[in-house]
């Protein structure tokens, strides 16, 4: 896949995520619109958005299903990251590794997940994920796509 195709997949995901967050499309429409891509950025950010809703019913993230301020801020950071052109610098698990971690997490009542999270936190400041650091996030806010005036980070 060319870099242009990878960037197009990121842009498509950013637009779909933006529409999902503001309630313009449903969770099912979001899933149908997300591009297939070998880009770990697309995979990681799609997984984050997938965790924001229940796929047992179709709905929009409005009213009682609206995102919390913390979830919304993280979603905005993801959209900003997708449009930034920055490389994804966090560790990436294969599907098999991810499945194994999920199984181990269930068997250890969350201990495996906590251990993995501590190891991943060495890669960067998880508060600013998918950015690797506060400075990288601040730099992206200097030229925000979709975000006239910037965004606030809720901690």
Dump pLDDT digits (tens) for 41-82. Answer: 999 999 999 999 998 999 999 999 999 999 999 999 999 999
Q: Would you state the pLDDT for residue 96?
A: 87
- Global confidence as pTM: 0.83
What residues contact residue 8 under an 8 Å CB cut-off, 6+ apart?
Answer: 35
Answer whether residue 98 shows pLDDT above 90: no
What residues contact residue 91 under an 8 Å CB cut-off, 6+ apart?
Answer: 120, 123
Choose between 105 and 151: higher pLDDT: 105
Q: Write out 87-149 in H/E/C secondary structure.
A: CCCCCCCCHHHHHHHHHHHHHCCCHHHHHHHHHHHHHCCHHHCCCCCHHHHHHHHCCCCCCCC
d(CA 133, CA 128): 6
Q: Find the radius of gyration of the CA atoms of the chain.
A: 16
Instruction: For the chain, give the longest Cα–Cα distance.
Output: 45
The whole-number average pLDDT for the span 83-89 is 93
**Helix, strand, or coil (residue 75):** helix
In the structure encoding, which two tokens stand for residue 141, read together? 């806010």
Domain ranges of the chain: 1-89+130-155, 91-123
| Nearest Cα residue to 93 out of 71, 72, 70, 123 | 123
Name the burial class of residue 25, with classes exposed (0-12), middle (13-18) and buried (19+) by CB atoms within 10 angstroms of its CB.
Answer: buried
């Amino acid at each position: 896949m060319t870099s242009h195709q990878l960037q197009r997949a990121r842009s498509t995901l950013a637009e779909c995520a933006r529409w999902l967050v503001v309630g313009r499309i449903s969770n099912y429409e979001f899933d149908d619109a997300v591009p297939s891509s070998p880009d770990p950025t697309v995979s990681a950010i799609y997984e984050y958005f997938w965790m924001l809703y229940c796929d047992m019913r179709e709905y929009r993230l409005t009213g009682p299903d609206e995102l919390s301020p913390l979830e919304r801020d993280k979603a905005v950071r993801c959209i900003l990251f997708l449009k930034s052109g920055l490389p994804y610098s966090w560790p990436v698990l294969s599907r098999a590794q991810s499945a194994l971690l999920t199984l181990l997490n269930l068997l250890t009542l969350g201990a495996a997940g906590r251990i993995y999270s501590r190891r991943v936190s060495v890669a960067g400041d998880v508060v600013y994920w998918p950015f690797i650091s506060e400075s990288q996030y601040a730099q992206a806010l200097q030229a925000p796509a979709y975000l006239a005036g910037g965004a606030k980070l809720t901690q």
